A and B are shown apart, each in its own frame.
Chain A
Amino acid sequence: MRKVFDFHGGIHPAENKHQSLRTPIASAGVPAELILPLSQHIGAPAEPIVEVGQRVLKGQVVAAASGFVSVPVHAPTSGQVTAIEDRLIAHPSGLSAPCIVITSDGLDQWQECQPVADYHSVDKADLLARIRDAGIAGMGGAGFPTAVKLTVKPQAPIATLILNGTECEPYITADDILMRERAQHIIEGAQILSHLIEPSEVLIGIEDNKPESIAAMQVAAQGTGIEIVVFPTKYPSGGEKQLIEILTGKQVPSGGLPADIGVICQNVGSAVAVRDAILEGKPLISRVVTVTGEAVEEPQNLEALIGTPMSYLLQTAGYQAAKNQRLIMGGPMMGFTVPDADVPIVKTTNCILAPSAAELPAPPPAQPCIRCGMCAEACPASLLPQQLFWFAQGKEFEKAEQHNLFDCIECGACSYVCPSTIPLVQYYRAAKAEVIQIRQDAEKSEHSRLRFEARQARKEREEAEKEAKRAARKKAAEEKARLAAEQGDAQEDPIQAAIERAKAKKAAQASGGDAESELEKLEKLVITTRKRLETASTKLEAAKAEGSEHVDALQLGVDKTSAKLAAAEQALHAYQQANPSPDIPAPAAPDDAAQAAIERAMAARQADAAKSPEEKARESLQKLEARLAKSEARLQEGRAAGEEEKIIIALESTVERLREKVAAGKAQLKQAETC
């Protein structure tokens, strides 16, 4: 007899398994409509490869795997694809997801199957490809693609292959009945898996509350070298990590995979699926589902096609909707409530639980935690649930992480034993999601920061390049001038120099132009012109007195200067009139469009903050109306000018949208006024 180990904690909830074990597995039949969610497994959703209206055969691929960690989806029966759309799926969120909807034609016509007669003679990679193409994903609950699990190459060679026949969740008997009725198929599947990964031992773990299964499996396993290991019943011994500890005494390292310690774990249902895929060439299109709970009259196990609506199976088992107030996919410990009875079953659906209100009563209001420590005693991961609860409640997620929040397997043992009926698992789920969200936000923010900085750097570089070009042009011009000066005669030199000076001055003014206000410039101009006029006048007087021949020329100059002075004075006057308070310099024009937008938005917000909602509404309405008028005018203009049709259409829709907005704004204003 093999030594079995114990794991920390665990609980013994009422099993309630006998109800659904009274009859053998029955076929559920083919419903009129099958809904196939594209994501029934962990990993990337499959991609549809059929079109609406297309006829498909049973077993035909309707959606292909879209990555390494992904599996295809097959048509569970023959019929027509009637829709590829979002449908409500079995998920605690109650959200919809893309599904392929197939209307059955009632023929249930198979496509051609290609079984492998002797898998020993086939290449292992080919076998793996077949398992993957058969769409097999872990059928115990998580739905991890089986082929991926078998492909992952660990550092350590796989010493142990474990088939999980534990089924520790109360109520569920799908694996139990599978082991009773199809023990031979499980063993064949185990042999194929064993052939693929070549472990030194193959173990099938079963809890001691399933004597019939144990007997059947022992008979089937005789002479194969596969060992059936029986261990005491305790929830959650069927958890992968717990089962590995029970059978091998080793613990899967935190954050690691079983393969890291040389173990691979597969559900017995997956083993049967593998066997069917290889020996019969059939993809995974059906599974055994336990339909149980007090709200069904005949609890039983049904072999149901993937995509069958839950309501169809419930009806088969005699569903009494009035007795039922929550519908659970999975067991009472880890299953989740579904939003509607019409959601389809998927590859991971092992149980549909329809309890009556008396059977699983609604949780009473939570009382304060008294730190009794029962949760810590029950925790199979040796966590301190009460501390985690404390941190989650206080939103101290960092501390929760330090207390190994992510090693929680959400088995629910802590909630089960909690005398204060605190929904502990919900706290952990929310806290985990929150931690992941924070990590993602941090990543996104870091990413945005890098992009922003890259943009800033690019802009600076562009600016620098422009500046460099400008400088190069200027230098070239100077060079040219210097060359010309060297070649030209000496007399031109001072003139050239003067030109240069003027140019330099102008350039200086242009570059520093913003600093020197318009007003100052004008004033300066007036003053300098006046000075020049004065000197010119005195010279003219002197020349007249001397009776110089230059009088005429000087006279002309004086006239010209005085005209200039008049013009400058007029300009100054005009400027002063236009700007009534010339003492305060006009605000420097914002040099950046974004900056300008920010400032405008700031000002608007500040103004908004002081206003009542009514005023706000009225103001926004006015703005909208103004915008509408503008847009309409622009549209008229555009039409008149016979602009491109595209632009006209764009303008038209703008006007339309603005009109809608104006209408909405009016309604809002009315509401604000009535308030």
Chain B
Amino acid sequence: MSLMRITSPHAHGPSRTSRVMQQVLLATLPGVIVLTHFFGFGTLVNIFWAGILAVAFEALALKLRKRPLGFYLGDYSALVTAVLLGIALPPYSPWWLIAVGIASAILLAKHLYGGLGYNPFNPAMVGYVVLLISFPVQMTSWAPPRGAGELPGLIDALQACFLPASFDGVTMATPLDLLKQNDSLLMEDLWQANPQFGRWGGLGWEWASIAFLAGGLWLLYQRVFTWHAPLSMLATLTLMAALFYDGGSSASGGSPLFHLLSGATMFGAFFIVTDPVSSAVSVRGRLIYGALIGLLVYLIRIFGNYPDAVAFAVLIMNLAAPFIDQYTQPRTYGHARQGGDR
């Protein structure tokens, strides 16, 4: 028997890409449960339909590119993209909307660039933005949460997805929409006039955000990613909101708490910003990357045309990630400390 000749190290740690992806999937669970509790089965249907499509598109792309299917499907990355996009889309989205979104995410944003690890943009966010720009009506109509209306059942949810014409669900504007279009004088008035604001950041959404925060903290504990980018993003967003919040006049942009707990802030901070492939890599780089995303989120929310901003902010910063990496190389052992941007 001949002896194996390979290079060191011969020992290997337990971490595997597939395990990381599984952990991310698991961490979305609390958020998904809360979303389902408040908005009904819409999100679940979204996720399942997106998951089926994602695996199918991934398999198709791999087949076309003549790659071993089992090897690459086993990394769960397509499923993660599908779940993230499924959560980001409004519940009760029609099937074709999800299909277009997943196709953009898997085929356009991922495989056209060379597959996992080579995509410069976050695939889920590319899918989301394509839909947001192409179908703004469908993308900004959220179902009313529990407490503001009657929740549809599972059958209704399936009908809403696959037989959209037969479903006449009620939709209503999200808190961020309302904030953008508000015409009352005080925040308090706005709050009272619209029940969907909930207590802090949107009925239902505030609890979903807290659930996503919990999932994110668990991932941090599992060392799936480092704290730098999410914390820096949340801190910057809080700072910006605090700077521009004047205590309640409607001209100001909402309280820091409102910004943290509404829209996709928490979901974005822990599940989108932390996507390693498209983000900056060094510690300083991730701090800068997160901070700029936080800044952009606030700016786009307050001054932009679209109500929420996480997707745009992330995509813009994806573009900047290589540049940030270039200038935030850590100081290598044995090199002078006063090397400036080394």
Contact = CB atoms under 8 A, between A and B. Distances in A.
From A322, A327, A365, A384, name the one whose CB has the most chain B CB atoms within 10 angstroms: A384
Interface string B27-66: 0000000000000000000000000000000000000000
Interface residues of A, number: 74
Contacts of A377: 226
Interface in A320-341: 321-322, 324-328, 330, 332-341
Interface string B203-221: 0000000000000000000
Given A370-B276, A419-B15, A376 B330 contact: yes
Contacts of A374: 15
B8 A419 contact: no
Contacts of B282: 373, 376, 384
B15 A382 contact: no
B75 A367 contact: yes
A373 B276 contact: yes
Nearest to A256: B334
Interface in B7-39: 7-13, 15-17, 19-20
A94 interface: yes
Contact of A419 (B19, B286, B332, B336): B19
Interface stretch (A203-211, A408-416, A524-532, A599-607): A408-416
Contacts of B16: 419, 421
Given A326-B3, A384-B282, A403-B329, A254 B9 contact: no
A363 B6 contact: yes
A333 B8 contact: yes
Nearest to A328: B10
Nearest to A383: B332
A322 B276 CA distance: 42
A578 interface: no
Contact of B276 (A327, A371, A418): A371
Contact of A332 (B10, B71, B279): B10
A382 B330 contact: yes
Q: Classify the secondary structure of B's interface with A.
A: loop
Contacts of A384: 281-282, 325, 329-330
Contacts of A381: 332-334
Interface stretch (B84-92, B111-119, B159-167, B238-246): B111-119
Contacts of A425: 7-9
Interface string A610-629: 00000000000000000000
Nearest to B117: A368
A370 B3 contact: no
Contacts of A383: 330, 332
From B13, B118, B329, B331, name the one whose CB has the most chain A CB atoms within 10 angstroms: B13
Contacts of A638: none
A368 B115 contact: yes
A513 B7 CA distance: 69
A11 interface: yes
B11 A170 contact: yes
B197 to A, nearest CB: 38
Nearest to B77: A370
A459 interface: no
Nearest to A385: B281
Contacts of B226: 373, 377
Contact of B10 (A8, A256, A335, A380): A335
A360 interface: yes
Interface string B312-332: 000000000000010001111
From A332, A374, A380, name the one whose CB has the most chain B CB atoms within 10 angstroms: A374
B81 to A, nearest CB: 13
Nearest to A361: B12
Contact of A326 (B4, B116, B225, B336): B4
Given A11-B13, A425-B9, A429-B7, 9 more contacts: A7-B333, A241-B333, A252-B334, A253-B336, A328-B10, A372-B20, A372-B276, A407-B334, A416-B12
Interface of B: 1, 3-13, 15-17, 19-20, 71, 75, 77, 115-118, 225-226, 276-277, 279, 281-283, 286, 325, 329-336
23 contacts: A8-B333, A241-B333, A245-B333, A253-B335, A325-B1, A326-B6, A332-B11, A333-B11, A334-B9, A336-B7, A339-B3, A353-B10, A363-B6, A367-B17, A369-B117, A373-B226, A381-B332, A382-B333, A384-B330, A407-B333, A412-B11, A423-B7, A426-B6
